[in-house]
Structure formats: structure tokens, C-alpha cells
Structure 1
Amino acid sequence: MNIAIYCGSSFGKNEIYKTTALNMVDFLAKKSCSIVYGGSKAGLMGVISNYALEKDIPVYGVITHDLANKELENEKLSNIIKVDSIRERKAKMEELSDAFIAYPGGCGTLEEISEILTSIQVGYSNKPCAFYNVNGYYDKLIGFLNTAVNEGFMLKEHLDSIIVSDDIEKIYTNFKNYTPPKNKWEILKALTNC
């Protein structure tokens, strides 16, 4: 299974983010998974990719020419794809991946996972997504998504399809057992026909 990991180009202030990232890589190595990520050597991106290479996990990096030229590219990667824009980067990562993990990160991480979640809602993607909720990092975001459901801006079926856990084994098991939800128009049509 090729798993995209969206994560920070910073380390975060708490050592738990680095420690848990290393544990995640150990687990994925045991499951013979490959990693797809943003191609950088900075922050948690570098921690995850370098440790995965040490564990002989195939790692596919996708980075823009601009970011590579700013010396952010992880030059240890043998599988590196360079693209012209962030949009192309996200599209290539989606194409290469069977499932997606949002590990703690900032706006870039949020943008990447949000795009996949939107694609699931409109029926363009049927691949599973997870928030790896280390240290309760995504608690407030999940609270916001519950508010979106309660206020009628998101369907509960789509919220329920998002895997949220602080346990990589549970995330992986849910990936293996994932059944994609229907798109929003199919669900709404079924509701109005009741």
C-alpha cells in the first residue's frame, strides 16, 4: 500500500511529534508499505523520509522545482518527482497514493488533506483519509467538522468516513477495511426519496 503522509516542514515544539513519527515509520515498515510525501528534508518531512530510507521503505517524494532549488529537496531520495506547481504536486501525490494520513502540520498539511476530503464528498476519490491525532492535535478541527455537520454544511456520512486516531495500527486497519461513502448527491437523493 502506498500511503501519502502530509506533515509539517517544521518539527513542532513537542518531542512527541518526532517520536510518534518514528514509531509510525516502524509500523509501516512491518506492513511493507511505501511512503509518498512532499519531497523535503525539512522538519517532520525529513524525519519521516530519512528514517523510512534507513528502514528500506520505498519513499516517493514529490516537490516543486522552486522548493527543490531552495535546497529543501531530500537528495537522499532515489524516487523524486519534480513538478512546476503546488497543484501539480498535490495531484501527483494523490495519483501515487492508496490512502492518506494527515500527520501534525500547518496550513499546507490542512490544504492537502482538505482537498482529498472534498474529492471524496463529490465522488472524485474513493481512497481513505486519516487524521493521525497525535497529542490531540486535531481535536479542534474535528470539533469544527462536527459543527459543519450540525449546521448543515457537511453530511454526517462524510464526517464518519474520516479515520481519526492516535494509533497507527488502528489507522492502518481502517484503511484495509475502508468502504467509501456515497457522494453528496447520492446521499441527498436517497434522503429526499424517503
Structure 2
Amino acid sequence: MGNVIKSVGVFCGSASGVGYDFASEAGLVGAHLGHQKLSLVYGGGQVGLMGAVADACLNHGGQVFGVMPKALVEKEIAHPNLTELIIVSDMHERKAKMATMADAFVVLPGGTGTMEEFFEQWTWGQIGYHRKPIALLNVAGFFDPLITMLDQMVSRGFLSAQHREMLLYASDIETILNSFSTYEHPPAKGYSQG
């Protein structure tokens, strides 16, 4: 049974990064979403990887919905040309709104904010708050150390193998979107004493 994906939430940096052309990869994601007529749901900024993914999606016929707390509209430099900019009260509301709007999530390189958004959505999936797929776009091996850490969580008994396997990852957006279409959500996390 395939999943119907109409909108993709993207978590990514408001910086462009160094040592690799991460912005071009973000642009490829946006272009692909636009070509596939998949709506982009993201943080609403026009700088860094955020701006690159939004611009490319818009330039390729896609709809782009930004979600930004009112206190960050000026700091994060809100994108002026979105299909819609949704201004919310705080970061908690931003993440909850994005979780509601998106059918799946892709995580691009970024900093602590990106990681915080990623881990919250992945955790929500593990405990059954939603059944949406989430994937790391492992550009230039950016997430290799994180993947190693997650595998250690499994080997040390802090993360179940089935919940580790629910996190998808690939180095190209086409593979990720294909994996979304066949994604099967595992049972919600259970707890035991001892």
C-alpha cells in the first residue's frame, strides 16, 4: 500500500555551509519538488539552504508554504515571494504547524535548529503522534557521523532496531521520494521496566 505524498516538509540551514556546494543540492531538492508538483513546507526564510530550496521550488512551478514565528520574520529574513507565509507565535507552533501541513519530511544539512526540528518529528513518529516518513538527505556524507551515533544507540539498547530503520536516508532526493511511496510505519514505541 503506497503513501500519497502531496506536501514535503524540509528542515535545513539558514546558512549555506562551507566546503561543499550545499546550496546547489538544496536547489535540486526544490526543483524536484516543483517538477513533481509536491508542495514545499519549510521555515519561511530566504537565506541559506532555506532560500535555495524555496527559490528552486518556486522557479519550477511548485507551491511553497513558509512557517515562521513573528519574532523571526526580520531576523531570518522572511522570503517575500512565497505562495503563503504563515506567521505563528513561537517555535513550538511553527513545528506543530509544519507537522500538520507536511505528508513527509526531508532533512538537509543544517545546524542545531535543523537537528532539533528533525529529532522532534522523528520522535513524534516513534511514539505514534504521526505516521509520516522522515529522511536525511545525506549530502556529501554530512550525516555520516549522526548515522554512526544512531547505530550506537541501537547497539547500546537505547533505540530499537525497528525505530532506527524507520529513519530513511539517501544521497539524492529521487531515492528518498521513491522510498516515501513504499514506506510502512512501525508500531508505536512501547515501554518496559528493567
Question: TM-score band (shorter)?
Answer: over 0.9
Q: Distance in 2 between matches of 1:71 and 1:164?
A: 27
Question: RMSD across aligned C-alpha pairs, in angstroms?
Answer: 1.4
Partner secondary structure for residue 81 of structure 1:
strand
Q: Which residue of 1 aligns with 2:140?
A: 135
- Segments of structure 1 that go 5 or more residues without pairing to the other structure are 190-194
Say if 2:65 is the partner of 1:60. yes
Give the TM-score normalised by the residue count of structure 1.
0.92
Distance in 2 of aligned mates of 1:34 and 1:171: 16
For these two proteins, the number of residue pairs brought into alignment is 187
SS at match of 2:130: coil
Give the alignment partner of residue 86 of structure 1, picking from 79, 91, 115: 91
Greater helix fraction, Structure 1 or Structure 2: 1
Which residue type is aligned with residue 121 of structure 2? I
Q: What are the Cα deviations for residues 18-76 of structure 1, in whole angstroms up to 9, with x where unaligned?
A: 12112222222222111000001121101111221121200000001011133611111
What is the rounded CA distance, in whole Å, between the counterparts of 2:172 and 2:125 in structure 1? 23
Q: Name the TM-score, length of structure 2 as normaliser.
A: 0.92
Residue aligning to 1:23: 28
* Match for residue 181 of structure 2 among 155, 162, 176: 176
Q: How does 1:4-43 map to 2 (within 5 A)?
A: 4-43=9-48
Gaps of 5+ in 2: 1-5
Report the Cα distance in structure 1 between the residues aligned to 2:75 and 2:115, rounded to whole angstroms.
Answer: 23
Q: What is the CA–CA distance in structure 1 between the aligned matches of 2:135 and 2:168, rounded to whole Å?
A: 4
